[in-house]
Amino acid sequence: MMRKIGHNMMVFMSKHMIACDEASFLVSYRSEHRLGFKQWWQLKMHLLTCHLCRKYAHQIKEMNLSVDKYRESCSHDTCSHHLSDEASSKIQHALDRELHAK
């Protein structure tokens, strides 16, 4: 009985687990967008089993906190470190293409 449960769990995991490259993409993507339930669940399961991706997720979280602090201290009127509208648009289009290519 236990072997059957273990085997069924392995089959389930092999069909639904994502690879590290997809997990790292989702970690980065979720900092700006809301994940669907399936993506959220797959990422959650991957992070439970992969310490390298958990470390990457922690690094992304820390980086986002730093960027948020920087944004708070740098107003648009006094700061010259902002991207142009054209550069922002190019980056957004590239990200959209990458997302929809999957």
For the chain, domain boundaries: 2-74
Predicted pLDDT at 69: 84
Tens digit of pLDDT per residue, the chain (102 long)?
657 666 676 666 666 789 999 999 999 999 889 999 999 999 999 999 999 999 999 999 999 998 888 777 776 666 666 678 898 899 999 988 888 875
Predicted pLDDT at 17: 86
Predicted pLDDT at 74: 73
16 vs 41: CA distance, rounded Å:
9
Q: Tell me which amino acid residue 16 is.
A: H
Distances (CA, A) of 4 to 9, 12, 45, 77, 80: 8, 12, 21, 64, 62
Predicted pLDDT at 55: 97
Distances (CA, A) of 33 to 6, 13, 74: 35, 26, 23
91 vs 101: CA distance, rounded Å:
15
How many Cβ atoms from other residues are within 10 Å of residue 59's Cβ? 11
Question: What letter would DSSP give residue 34?
Answer: P
